[in-house]
Amino acid sequence: MPPELSVVGSVNLDFVVRCDRLPKPGESLTGATFERHPGGKGANQAVAAARLGADVMFAGNVGEDDLAEEALAGLTSVNGHFDVGGKTGVAFILVDREGETEIVVAPGANANPVMTRFPGNVLCQLEIPVDSVVEAAELADRFFLNAAPAKPIPVELVRTAEIVIVNRYELEALPETPRLTALTLGAEGAVLLKHGEEIARARPPRVNVVDGTAAGDAFSACLVVTRLEGYRWEEALQRACVAGALAASRAGAQPSLPTAAEVDAMLSS
C-alpha cells in the first residue's frame, strides 16, 4: 500500500523570467524569456509526493479569479480541498543561466486560514498563516515541517515536528533547535542533525542546474515519503538529495518534479 500523506499549504501561479544574469538594484535587463507554471510550496510538495508514489490529500486556498484554474492545473493527481476567495497567490521568479533564483511572492488567498482537519501524516510549510500550521500539527498523528520561508513560529510547533526541514537561513530563524533537522546545503547536499549534532550526510548527484525553484520542495516531499515507506532517515536523506537535484536540472516548479522511478534510476546509475 502506498503511504498516505496530507499536505497543507500554499497554491501559487509562478511567473518565471529567465535571463542571462540577475539584475543589480535599479538595473534593467532585456533579452529574457517568460513562462507561467503552477507553483506554491504546498502544491509543489503535494505534486512531488504523488509522483513519488504517495496517496496525497492537499488543502489550500485559491482566488476567485482567472488565475485559479491555471494555478491548480498540476494537482490533477492529488485529492484536494480548496477554499476560494480573493486573489490567487502569485510568485515572480527570476532565474539566471546558472539556475540561481530571486523570488517575490504575493500570497493573495494563501494569507487566509486553511482548512486543516487532517489526522494521520501531515506535511506543512510556512507560506500559509502560522495559526493554520499550528492547527494542522495539533491534529496530525505524525507531523513534518518544512519551515520555509523563514518567519517567527511558536516553539511548540518545532517540538511537535518529527523532523524540521530547513536551509541555513531558516535554521537560524527557528525558536529552538529541533530534535531532528534536515539541513539543506544546496549543491553540497544535506545534513541530518539530532539535537543540533550531525548524524548523517548525503551528497546529490552532479547535474546541470537549470532552475532551483522547486528543488527544496522535491527534497522535502521525497524525504517524508521515503520515511513513510519505512526507510531509515539516512536512506531517506540520500533519496531526497537525488530528488532535489533532478528538480534543479529542469525548468519550472511542478514540471520539474521527479517520479520515484527517476529517483531510483539516478541512484542506480
**What does the radius of gyration of the chain's CA atoms come to, in whole angstroms?**
17
59-113 pLDDT, tens digit per residue, is 999 999 999 999 999 898 898 888 899 999 999 999 898 888 888 999 999 999 9
Q: What spatial distance separates the first Cα and last Cα of the chain, rounded to whole Å?
A: 27
d(CA 162, CA 99): 31
The pLDDT, as a whole number, for residue 257 is: 95
Taking residues 136-143, report their average pLDDT: 96
CA angle 237, 71, 37 (to 5 degrees): 65
Chain centroid offset of residue 169 CA: 16
The chain-wide mean pLDDT, for the chain, equals 94
d(CA 237, CA 105): 28
Positions marked catalytic: 217
Q: Is the pLDDT of residue 116 over 80?
A: no
Chain centroid offset of residue 152 CA: 18
Q: Which domains does the chain have, with CATH numbers?
A: 4-11+41-69+78-87+112-268 (3.40.1190.20)
Q: Which of 159-163, 226-230, 245-249 has the lowest mean pLDDT?
A: 245-249
CA of 212: how far to CAs of 120, 192, 257, in Å? 30, 21, 11
d(CA 181, CA 10): 22
Q: Which amino acid is at 193?
A: L
Q: Left (φ > 0), alpha (ψ -120 to 50) or beta: where does 116 sit?
A: alpha
195-215 pLDDT, tens digit per residue, is 999 999 999 988 988 888 889
Q: Are 207 and 249 in contact (CB under 8 A)?
A: yes
